[in-house]
């Protein structure tokens, strides 16, 4: 039975200039990913785009922070477009890869004599490689472990005004970062509750810079509308979550309405061994969304994340909102 396209989950939120890792699998929420895995010897592809609008700080604010020794910056917006693929080795193990393209428009940074206009920075980012292993079968309860690594494929040599940009402003980081996490879900009547968390351990990369470690996680509540939800249990695939069985004769299209409450923490970065005290922070958001699962194997999602609490240190602006769209296909 087709339960929905098993593709990469929607991108994680932006606290600093680099997005964290994302999970994969249908279900869950905007950044919360489910424990479901793909059917063996099937694969999926997905494209997702994330637009983040930060609070806008004036040149006077940036210069004032610089006079206090804080290298604060701002952008008009950040755009992250990711192209990903996932492959099911068997019922329990799914592998995925996602390569992002990043763009930061009108980057500017304060200094003691004014505000330096750094322009638009764009390019290929760092590749995320992840493996998800599902520990359970059945449709009522699910549990999976995730592990992987961020590969330094992105550029770290972009320049502005004739000088190399700091690593935090580059499309890539130059570092190999281990990633690990977990996901769990439970059916609650007509609803499904999903929780997930991912931790990225930062290592030293370009320009002897180590960006902060990152933890992101949350819970999501979703409800499926459509004939797929009403189908008798005995007609379902014995391995709940084998979402790639699109050739099943009883497959039907469906809609998922979802809402998540999630958050992200990012540690301080280090440059040449010195801790940047004004970097890092944490924030939490609520995000409603919709996902359409076509019987033909296509899936489309849309969601908006709005923060309700933020403690982001002054080198980075607060977040105003984030919009994420995705389109995927299973084969």
With respect to residue 17, please indicate whether it lies within any of the assigned structural domains.
no
Name which residue leads in pLDDT, 85 or 242.
85
Distance CA 178, CA 201 (A): 5
Percent of the chain with pLDDT over 90: 75
Residue 11 lies in a domain: no
Rounded mean pLDDT, 232-246? 39
126 pLDDT above the threshold of 70: yes
Residue 266 pLDDT grade (very low, low, confident, very high; cuts 50, 70, 90): very high
- Residue of 111 and 300 predicted with greater confidence: 300
Q: Is residue 207 part of a domain?
A: yes
Residue 27 forms part of a structural domain? no
Of 18, 70, 98, 78, the residue nearest 264 (C-alpha): 18
Predicted confidence at residue 25, as pLDDT, reads 47
pLDDT at 19: 55
Q: What is the CATH number of the domain that holds 296?
A: 2.40.160.40
* Sole residue written with tokens 């793909």: 38
H runs (alpha helix) in 22-162: 59-67
As a whole-number percent, the residues of the chain with pLDDT over 70 amount to: 84
| Banded pLDDT at 22 (limits 50, 70, 90) | low
Quick: pLDDT tens for 313-324: 999 999 999 999
Write out the two tokens for 218: 């949350």
pTM for the structure as a whole: 0.86
Number of domains in the chain: 1
Domain membership of residue 13 (yes or no) is no
pLDDT at residue 121 greater than cutoff 80: yes
**pLDDT > 50? residue 12:** no
For range 127-153, the mean pLDDT: 94
What confidence score (pLDDT) does residue 27 get? 60
| 150: Cβ contacts below 8 Å, ≥ 6 apart | 21, 126, 127, 128, 129, 173, 175, 176, 177, 179, 200
Joined together, the tokens standing for residue 84 give 């990903």
pLDDT of residue 139: 79
Average pLDDT over residues 256-271: 96
Domain ranges, residue 176: 43-330
CB burial class (10 A; 0-12, 13-18, 19+) of residue 190? exposed
Backbone angles phi, psi at 57, to 5 degrees: -100, 140
How confident is residue 28, by pLDDT bands cut at 50, 70 and 90? confident
In this prediction, residues 148-175 reach a mean pLDDT of 95
Angstrom distance (rounded) from CA 233 to CA 253: 17
**Residue 283 falls within a domain, yes or no?**
yes
Residue found by looking up tokens 């370009």 in the block: 206
Q: What would the mean pLDDT of 203-227 be, rounded to a whole number?
A: 93
């Amino acid at each position: 039975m087709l339960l929905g396209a098993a593709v990469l989950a929607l991108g994680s939120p932006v606290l600093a200039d680099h997005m964290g890792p994302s999970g994969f699998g249908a279900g869950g929420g905007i950044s919360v990913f489910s424990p479901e895995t793909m059917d063996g010897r099937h694969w999926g592809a997905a494209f997702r785009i994330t637009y983040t609008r930060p609070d806008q700080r004036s040149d006077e604010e940036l210069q004032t922070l610089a006079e206090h020794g804080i290298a604060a910056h701002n952008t008009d917006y950040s755009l992250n477009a990711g192209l990903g693929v996932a492959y099911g080795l068997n019922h329990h193990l799914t592998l995925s890869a996602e390569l992002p393209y990043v763009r930061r428009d009108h980057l500017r940074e304060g200094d003691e004599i004014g505000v330096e206009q750094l322009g638009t920075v764009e390019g290929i980012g760092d590749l995320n490689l992840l493996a998800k292993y599902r520990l359970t079968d059945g449709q009522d309860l699910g549990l999976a472990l995730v592990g992987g690594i961020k590969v330094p494929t992105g550029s770290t040599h972009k320049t502005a005004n004739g000088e190399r940009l700091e690593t935090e402003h580059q499309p890539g980081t130059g570092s190999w970062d281990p990633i690990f996490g977990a996901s769990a879900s439970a059916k609650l009547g007509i609803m499904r509750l999903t929780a997930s968390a991912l931790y990225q351990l930062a290592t030293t990369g370009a320009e002897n810079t180590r960006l902060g470690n990152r933890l992101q996680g949350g819970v999501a509540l979703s409800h499926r509308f459509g004939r797929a939800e009403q189908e008798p249990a005995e007609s379902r695939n014995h391995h709940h979550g084998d979402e790639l069985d699109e050739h099943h004769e009883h497959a039907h299209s469906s809609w998922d309405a979802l809402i998540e409450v999630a958050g992200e923490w990012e540690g301080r970065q280090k440059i040449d061994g010195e801790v940047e005290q004004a970097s890092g922070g944490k924030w939490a958001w609520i995000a409603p969304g919709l996902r359409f699962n076509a019987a033909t194997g296509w899936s489309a999602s849309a969601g908006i994340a709005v923060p309700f609490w933020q403690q982001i240190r002054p080198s980075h602006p607060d977040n105003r909102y984030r919009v994420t769209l995705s389109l995927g296909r299973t084969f």
